[in-house]
Amino acid sequence: MAAAFDLVFDDVRTARVFDPSRKLPGDVQAFHKLEPVVAVEVRAKPVTYSDAVHFVRSVAAAGFTHAMIAGLDAVDAKVLHLSKEAWQETGVFVTVHPQFSDCTPAGMQSTHVVVPSPLQPKGFRMQARSSSSMTLVAGA
């Protein structure tokens, strides 16, 4: 995850897994011009609804606008529908990737991770695919 985000964001941070002293939510955090953009939690064990809600609240408290949950094992069905509830409660947009293939750069193309305009590839622009997703398209 960190390597994929490093291709797009100017500041990507990680911490040791299970590090009790870490101060930022998630396993990977992306910033643009020191502003928090997205925090990612990668789970190799089942993701429960309560785990997801706790993560989203910590993301909101840290000032991030987007929480991404990458469940590489099993994801509780309620977690897949957390986005609207989380947005209403915290103002944080939530993206859930229940499969590893969704966590690759190709899989993330349909997410709401907004590429900061100075970092967009030359000749591309952001375009809404739906009310909750964006994609890069050719053209200025």
What digits encode the pLDDT tens for the residues 79-134? 888 888 888 899 999 988 877 556 555 445 544 444 444 444 444 444 444 444 44
> How large is the angle between the packed helices 49-61 and 82-90, nearest 10 degrees?
30
| pLDDT at 121 (0 to 100) | 43
52 vs 102, residue with greater confidence: 52
pTM of the full structure: 0.70
Which pair of structure tokens corresponds to residue 63?
């000032």
Q: Domain 2-108: give its CATH architecture.
A: 3-Layer(aba) Sandwich (3.40)
Domain ranges of the chain: 2-108
Sort 22 into a burial class: Cβ within 10 Å, 0-12 / 13-18 / 19+.
middle
